[in-house]
Structure 1
Amino acid sequence: MTLLSQQVSGFIENSSWIRKMFESGIALKKQYGADAVCDFSLGNPDVPAPALVGDILRDLADKCEEPFTFGYMPNGGFPWARQIIADLVKKEQGVEVSGDDCLISCGAAGAMNAFFRAVMEPGDEVVGVAPYFVEYGFYTSNHQVTFKPAKSKPDTFELDIDSIEAAMTPKTRGVIINSPNNPTGAVYTKEEITSLAALLDAKSREYGRPIFLISDEPYRFLAFDGVEVPSVLPLYDYAVVLSSFSKNLSLAGERVGYVCLSPRMPERGKLMAGLMLTNRILGFVNPPVIGQHLLKAALTAQVDAGIYAKRRDVMARVLTEAGYDFLMPKGAFYFFPKAPGGDDVAFCQRLMEEKVLAVPGTGFGGPGYFRLTFCVGEEVIERAAEGFRKANR
């Protein structure tokens, strides 16, 4: 087997369980019809984007003949768009940041890859909290960096500071947190993040170089029951916030996100210059022009979070009546119940036989659980009730 075919085979073997189940769903829908399949596999928002999105698209259409409307711009995005992000981060994080501290990217994934390319060296390590978004491991491997999972606390999915410390070595260059969390729905408290910041500060001094706290926050807007999503930037000098507008504006396909550096970070100007370069040389070139104009209009609105709250309640009822053990999600749009019998892969196969699609927790570093997204209509959740009951017999 050639080196190329070995590498391709490795990627396929380790490819996302999310996509595997999504593609299985396509086959099931072709066989039985779309209305017969209840697909909870992919976190693809179905709530319409704010009406202002349509208004700005019509306005841009009228300007398409003007020179440079859709041309290249500075690597980090339009200066006015970077300032819009700075204003947003200031409001959300409670810190003074400028447009110079922010960079527009091709989604949060683009931001994370640009950041890794700018600060990581081959052989470095990044610690992530399990269960975690599965593609973190692929993003680090893009840059010859090792992703090391650290378990969260059993059943509650709270940060386990001892577990994170045990995963750290002198090669550790960053720790990723995702709150509200995909796949568990956990929201880390200010006390948890403060404890983590203290650990990273101590380890940075011990290892003789800074360890970055990378906060991935695309679900910040979606917390339930009055739960607060704490600000990270005020708590640690080497904190970095990454996010996108895939969820809060239902613009997943537009691929626009950002990275913002803590204003307390030493030499952050030098790091931002590096991000400007890597944002281009990785092939992203520039963040989408249309996406930046959409932000200008749509950030004054967002999707109706109340729709997701209602769906969460419906799914909680359906799962409870079907006899599942789960923790009520505090944020994001996922449930992460325990898999009856303990084998999450086998159980998701049982669900599939009932035409219900879920993703095994194994794909997120959380074996023994399975993930359900509730960015689907309430009627789909209700229709899946009988399938959930049959699979759990």
Structure 2
Amino acid sequence: MAISEKMKQFSAQSSWIRKMFEEGAKLKIQYGADQVCDFSLGNPDVPPPPQFREILQETARDTTPGQHSYMPNGGLPWVREAIAARMSTEQGVTIDHGDLLMACGAAGALNVVMKALLNPGEEVIVLAPYFVEYGFYIDNHGGSAVVVHTDGEFNLDLPAIAAAITEKTRAIIINSPNNPTGQVYDGAAISALGDLLEEVGNRFGSTIYLISDEPYRKIVFDGCVVPPIFQLVRNSIVLSSFSKDLSLPGERIGYLAVHPQADDKTALLDAMTLATRILGFVNAPAFMQRVVAELQDVSSDTSIYARRRELFCSLLADIGYQFLAPKGAFYLFPKTPIDDDVRFCALLQEEKILAVPGRGFGSPGHMRLAFCTDDQVIARSAAGFKTAFDRARE
């Protein structure tokens, strides 16, 4: 066999999100796209803000020599200054452009962080339900993912996290607003988590970093506020992208920032800069760096997601599904009416509805529904959701 045994194994375990997306493509060919209700992929359909097109065209017209040349691996300094200024306000801590690197999306940023932090066999805690790619990113760099479940309402379970920390623990990844649950961790819980990591790290003579993955920070509902990580946890790394709040997932543009007072900050940033190069990213896309630098205070119209959340929650509640209304992001994570989430998603598929089984996020017995799709698709799905619900309970 030409491919590695590890990749054969990964292929078998690969993302349920993509599997269901591909099943949806087959259904659309068979029945027509207007007959399929596809809630599988978190692919924002809300258009970028109007300012994006204006800046895009203005940037494209700039013929100054060197606009598309190589640059420092960490990104264009003036772009980093723009993002650092916005983050300083957001985080309540003064951030210098040297504390920040541009990245090829949040995924690229996470790989850079893992490359810089991990020795073979070291551990990173991930909190279930979690974005499945975390495990692959950690493995990419010789580490092991240690899965810890959140509590019954998808909040941080500090005793469970404490029990999972060992001498090999190098970091914990949190994702808030969360994919797939939409949960937002409150500031008190994050502060307590930071204290725990500091205390245990001191005991082991090591630093355990809190890594906050925040691409959904600006997509929140009902006045919810996402706490500033840097104000709460000193040994922390915040990373994000413009994929969700500017609706630019295909452009692969993001960034990471290290707390200005983090342990070994300079060495860590140097390692991340080198990792950006040797992982083959070299630098984040030059053109999009210049575009997003001018868009720090704008975002897509998130009121559209708020409207869809209300529509979807009402529809599912009327049928009898059990779920927590998301505080942010654009996902619902209901319990499936039977324990076998894969079987239930197959019942939905028979109704031309695409949902992702919760086991793909480390939490069987649930399903993820992405509501970054037209209101009419959500409304049209009601009959199918009820039929599958009734069949499952027969």
| Partner residue, 1:143 | 141
Partner-residue secondary structure (3-state), 1:326: coil
Partner-residue secondary structure (3-state), 1:92: helix
Q: What amino acid is the match of 2:190?
A: I
Structure 1 position 227, deviation (Å):
1.4
| Partner residue, 1:28 | 27
| 1:206 maps onto 2:203 in alignment | yes
- 8 Å CA contact 2:24–2:354 kept in 1: the answer is yes
| Partner residue, 1:260 | 257
Q: What amino acid is the match of 1:18?
A: I
Q: How many residues align?
A: 390
Question: 2: CA distance between counterparts of 1:117 and 1:147?
Answer: 14
Alignment of 1:100-119 (within 5 A): 100-119=98-117
| Partner residue, 1:16 | 15
1:131 to 122, 126, 129: 129
Normalised to the residue count of structure 2, the TM-score between the two structures is 0.97
Q: What amino acid is the match of 1:74?
A: P
Partner-residue secondary structure (3-state), 1:243: strand
Unaligned 5+ residue runs, structure 1? none
**Which deviates more from structure 2 when the two are superposed, residues 36-45 or residues 6-15?**
6-15
1:193 to 190, 193, 198: 190
| 1:296 maps onto 2:293 in alignment | yes
Alignment of 1:305-320 (within 5 A): 305-320=302-317
- 8 Å CA contact 1:237–1:262 kept in 2: the answer is yes
Partner-residue secondary structure (3-state), 1:325: coil
Question: 1: CA distance between counterparts of 2:154 and 2:293?
Answer: 36
Question: 1: CA distance between counterparts of 2:271 and 2:7?
Answer: 30
Alignment of 1:1-393 (within 5 A): 4-64=3-63, 66-154=64-152, 156-393=153-390
Structure 1 position 60, deviation (Å):
2.8
Question: 2: CA distance between counterparts of 1:325 and 1:236?
Answer: 34
Question: 2: CA distance between counterparts of 1:241 and 1:206?
Answer: 25
Question: 1: CA distance between counterparts of 2:263 and 2:240?
Answer: 22
Structure 1 position 68, deviation (Å):
1.2
Unaligned 5+ residue runs, structure 2? none
Partner-residue secondary structure (3-state), 2:335: coil
Q: What amino acid is the match of 1:47?
A: V
- 8 Å CA contact 1:117–1:143 kept in 2: the answer is yes
Provide the identity percentage: 51
Structure 1 position 92, deviation (Å):
1.2
**Which deviates more from structure 2 when the two are superposed, residues 315-324 or residues 172-181?**
315-324
Structure 1 position 87, deviation (Å):
1.1
Partner-residue secondary structure (3-state), 1:103: strand
Structure 1 position 57, deviation (Å):
2.2
Normalised to the residue count of structure 1, the TM-score between the two structures is 0.97
**RMSD over aligned Cα, in angstroms?**
1.1
- 8 Å CA contact 2:207–2:263 kept in 1: the answer is no
**Which deviates more from structure 2 when the two are superposed, residues 263-272 or residues 243-252?**
263-272
Summarize deviations over 1:314-364 as a string: whole Å, max 9, x none: 000110122101111111110000001111111001000000000000000
Structure 1 position 307, deviation (Å):
0.7
**Which deviates more from structure 2 when the two are superposed, residues 233-242 or residues 136-145?**
233-242
Question: 1: CA distance between counterparts of 2:147 and 2:7?
Answer: 23
Partner-residue secondary structure (3-state), 2:148: strand
Question: 2: CA distance between counterparts of 1:22 and 1:241?
Answer: 29
Partner-residue secondary structure (3-state), 1:392: helix
**Which deviates more from structure 2 when the two are superposed, residues 132-141 or residues 47-56?**
47-56
Question: 1: CA distance between counterparts of 2:320 and 2:308?
Answer: 18
Structure 1 position 5, deviation (Å):
4.3
Q: What amino acid is the match of 1:167?
A: A
Structure 1 position 298, deviation (Å):
2.1
Question: 1: CA distance between counterparts of 2:91 and 2:62?
Answer: 35
Question: 2: CA distance between counterparts of 1:114 and 1:227?
Answer: 30
- 8 Å CA contact 1:234–1:262 kept in 2: the answer is no
Structure 1 position 15, deviation (Å):
0.4
Question: 2: CA distance between counterparts of 1:200 and 1:228?
Answer: 23
Partner-residue secondary structure (3-state), 1:284: coil
- 8 Å CA contact 2:59–2:291 kept in 1: the answer is no
